[in-house]
Amino acid sequence: MAWDMYQEKILDHYKHPRNFGHVESPDLTGAESNPLCGDHITLELKLDAKQTTIEQARFSGDGCAISMASASMLTQKLQGRPLSEVSQIRRKDVEKMLGIPLSPVRVKCALTSLKALAQALSTTPTPLTVSEAPEEAPGAGGGAA
Ligand code: ZN
Confidence (pLDDT) at 126 = 56
Domain that holds residue 108: 3-121
Q: Return the beta strands (E) in the chain as ranges.
A: 28-34, 39-47, 54-62
Does pLDDT of 139 surpass 90? Answer: no
Going from the Cα of 64 to the center of ligand 1, the distance in angstroms, rounded, reads 4
Span from the CA of 108 to the centroid of ligand 1 (angstroms): 7
**pLDDT of 3-15, one tens digit each?**
577 789 999 999 9
pLDDT digits over 31-40, tens only?
999 999 999 9
pLDDT score for 115: 96
Gap from CA of 39 to ligand 1 centroid (Å): 5
* 141 alpha carbon – ligand 1 mean position (Å): 58
Report how far residue 127's alpha carbon sits from residue 6's, in angstroms, rounded to the nearest whole number. 41
Answer whether residue 107 is part of any domain.
Answer: yes
Give the whole-angstrom CA distance, residue 145 versus residue 142.
9
CATH number of the CATH domain containing 73: 3.90.1010.10
Distance CA 140, CA 80 (A): 44
| pLDDT one-digit tens code per residue, 98-126 | 998 888 889 999 999 999 999 999 987 65
pLDDT digits (tens, 9 = 90+) for 86-100: 999 999 999 999 998
> Looking at the domain assignment, is residue 143 inside a domain?
no
User: What's the confidence (pLDDT) of residue 3?
Assistant: 57
Number of domains in the chain: 1
Share of the chain above pLDDT 70, in %: 82
Are the CB atoms for 112 and 70 separated by under 8 Å?
yes
In a domain, 87, yes or no: yes
Q: What share of the chain is helix, strand, coil (3-state, %, to 5)?
A: 40, 20, 40
Q: How far is the CA of 41 from the centre of ligand 1 (A)?
A: 11
Look at residue 56 and tell me whether its pLDDT is greater than 50: yes
Helix (H, G, I), strand (E, B) or coil at 88: coil
CA 56 to ligand 1 center in whole angstroms = 25
